[in-house]
Amino acid sequence: MRYIAVLMLCMLVLLPTACSQVTTQQVLATSHIAAPPTSGLKRTAQPDPFHDQRLQMVEKTIAGRGVKSEIVLQAMREVPRHEFTPPDYLDQAYADHPLPIGYGQTISQPYIVAWMTEMLALESGDKVLEIGTGSGYQAAVLAALGGVEVYSIEIVPELAASAAGRLESLGYQVNVKQGDGYYGWQEEAPFDAIIVTAAPDHLPAQLVTQLAPGGRLVIPIGPPGSYQSLWKFELDQDGKLKAYNMGGVAFVPFTGQGIEQATAVPTP
């Protein structure tokens, strides 16, 4: 891990004036469940044929690679990744690699999902924003932590609709919006944590301005079509940003009007 000294906001992100053209976003679906089960998943009488595979995945490829948070590990044990996996890839649902879900998007590698979730250091009562709902798997893991208010934005309308329906049918309480995640979700800000599951080539200013004091932001940053660096940012009580380079990753590129219209600045 490489620590970057306390950085002023203007050195890290686009100036707000460069991002003034905000595209319209609309709430597509809000899956509020009045009394969700403790794990966030609706229980059925049917046995789970993937139960043992899921436990082995967590033991070998998540806990075995250094994820220590017990609440994160328990969420990974409980959330049925096969429910978020396309039928053609069902036999790979618990393999430790990403899988295509259509529209040029993927469901992330389980280890990366757990690792990024652990970095957020979420506690009961926190409010978290996810950029890039995809199939809904990462949002389900966040919701399964318990006591966390989850918001998620997906730019692809078809994925936003299917993820919202899937999360609701499984009993996860997640607020899903279809729109350009580059601009965050201003109406619901501030957030205690923000997680981004696609890679821009810079840190969007709006996401930082929507962090609460003490908030955490986990985001891959780097050129499209190549490897990126995973960054963890922490906003202190004085509005200064601390940046930590967590190492190399590979994510699908960030898309949308916001990233296309932005004027790139050097990344941290």
Of 265, 80, 234, 242, the closest CA to residue 169 belongs to 80
**What is each CA distance from 108 to 37, 95, 114, 221, 244, in whole angstroms?**
25, 11, 10, 16, 21
Beta carbons of 176 and 29 less than 8 angstroms apart: yes
Tokens linked to 101: 């879900």
Beta carbons of 223 and 201 less than 8 angstroms apart: yes
Amino acid at 124: S
- Look at the block and give the residue holding tokens 């995973």: 230
Which residue is catalytic, options 108, 135, 152, 162? 108
108 belongs to the catalytic site: yes
Catalytic residues: 108
